[in-house]
Amino acid sequence: MQKAPLKVAVIDSNPVRAAILVDGLAGAGEVDAHLITDTFDLQRRIFALDPDVIVIDLEDHSRDVLEQMFQVSRDVRRPIAMFVDHSDRAMIDQAIEAGVSAYIVDGLVQSRVRSIVDMAISRFNAFSRLRKELEETKGALEDRKVIERAKGILMRSKGVDEPAAYSLLRRTAMNEKKKIADIARSVVTASELLA
């Protein structure tokens, strides 16, 4: 089965710089590059295009343009490689906070474009895995807290010890084909309503 070409949105208003990006991508393999030359209604256009990767070349560092680019990177959740002519610490911090995967200052060279895009994809994937693991860990911790709270409620209301309270939660979850944490949430909610 043949792999689909990498769909890349190239955002650049300067035709010379845009050509460097598009040619750099095209010269390095199967790439379906889509050039966006203005930032009008950018977010909607990016969502409609649904690219695998976004490459942004910013000549204009106006606050409005930067904020729009950072908003796109926060909302779209795709690897983003951002090329800039010059930078400052605040701009770097904003880019990182917004989720830009590769931030290249004064490094627009045709032969390096594809490797930078590949690196942005790798960093994005690694960060996504970490974010998923963090969310799963937070979810497990929240589940554990609510289960402990529900056990305490059952221990007080039914006059049972901790293993018996957990056994009751587990048995109810199995009977109702639900997760123990869901049953625990129901116990906590019912307790709050009856308090």
pLDDT of res. 149: 95
Distance separating alpha carbons of residues 4 and 6, to the nearest angstrom: 6
pLDDT of res. 5: 84
CATH topology of domain 134-194: Arc Repressor Mutant, subunit A (1.10.10)
Position 66, amino acid? L
Distance separating alpha carbons of residues 33 and 55, to the nearest angstrom: 10
Domain boundaries, the chain: 6-108, 134-194
Contacts of 62 (CB under 8 A, 6+ apart): none
Matching CATH topology for 6-108 and 134-194? no
DSSP letters of 58-123?
A: ES---HHHHHHHHHHHHHH-S-EEEEES---HHHHHHHHHHT-SEEEES---GGGHHHHHHHHHHH
pLDDT of res. 115: 87
Residue with the two structure tokens 């944490």:
181
pLDDT of res. 92: 81
pLDDT of res. 33: 87
pLDDT of res. 175: 94
What phi, psi does 28 have (nearest 5°)?
Answer: -115, 15
pLDDT of res. 1: 59
The CA-atom distances, in angstroms, between 118 and each of 141, 164, 195 are: 35, 54, 57
Q: What is the reported pTM? A: 0.70
CATH topology of domain 6-108: Rossmann fold (3.40.50)
The one-digit pLDDT tens for each residue of the chain (195 residues) are: 557 788 999 988 888 888 888 888 887 677 888 898 887 888 888 888 999 998 888 776 566 666 777 777 777 788 988 888 877 788 888 878 777 888 888 777 888 888 888 898 899 999 889 989 999 999 999 999 999 999 999 999 999 999 999 999 999 999 999 999 999 999 999 998 887
Burial class (CB in 10 A: 0-12, 13-18, 19+), 52: middle
pLDDT of res. 184: 95
